Amino acid sequence: MSIISGGFRMRLALKIIVAMAVLFTGLGIYAAFVYPTTHGYMRWWFESSASVTVDASGYAHINSDHSAIIITRTDSSPKQSYLVSLSGQRALIYCGQWHAPRLIAFPIGHVNPPCSALGNVEELTRADSPVLSTLVVRPRSVEFKTAHGKTVSASW
């Protein structure tokens, strides 16, 4: 006759299963978010309280080290986003079909960034591309014009 009862075995098995599930969930979160973030493979973008005007309206996200901002126009359909470098060499990139989600924060990995200077030629001909020569970056604001003559500005 067994000293350990069937109910005790069930509770022990359930505890082991729950502990394994918690362990694997924690490892998954670490592998997906913590490790890439701490080693510089992923940057988090946070919604900014920036007021964005595009001869209409929009919203903005600034990355965690404040070296770049993504400005999203909501005056067109589909929405259009632009990546602006705030430090080092000035850059202004149209994000193509991708636009920043309307979330408080979201991550972007370094392997496949959504905004790239290399875009689909057909898409770029239809886009309201930014004009780099009009880019003005100030300590807490950005302004530029687009190919269609719109003025996009964000201040935070």
The predicted-structure confidence for 128-148, as pLDDT tens digits, reads as follows 889 999 999 988 889 999 988
Count Cβ neighbours within 10 Å for each residue of 78-98 and write b for 16 or more, e otherwise: ebbbbbbbbeeeeebbbbbee
- Write out the H or E segment, with its range, that includes residue 135: strand 130-138
Looking at residue 20, what is its pLDDT? Answer: 94
Looking at residue 129, what is its pLDDT? Answer: 86
Both tokens of 91, joined, read 């850059």
Looking at residue 50, what is its pLDDT? Answer: 73
- Number of Cα atoms under 13 Å in the Cβ half of residue 79: 16
- 69: nearest Cα among 143, 3, 124: 143
- pTM of the model as a whole: 0.67
What 3-state class would DSSP assign to 21? helix
Q: Which residue's entry shows tokens 């359909």?
A: 77
Q: Where are the alpha helices (DSSP H) in 59-142?
A: 121-126
If one counts every other C-beta atom within 10 angstroms of the C-beta of residue 139, the result is 6
Strand 68-73 vs strand 42-47: parallel, antiparallel, or unpaired? unpaired
Looking at residue 15, what is its pLDDT? Answer: 92
Looking at residue 136, what is its pLDDT? Answer: 92
- Ranges of the chain whose pLDDT falls below 70: 1-4, 53-56, 111-112, 116-126
Q: With contact defined as beta carbons under 8 Å apart, do 61 and 49 qualify?
A: no
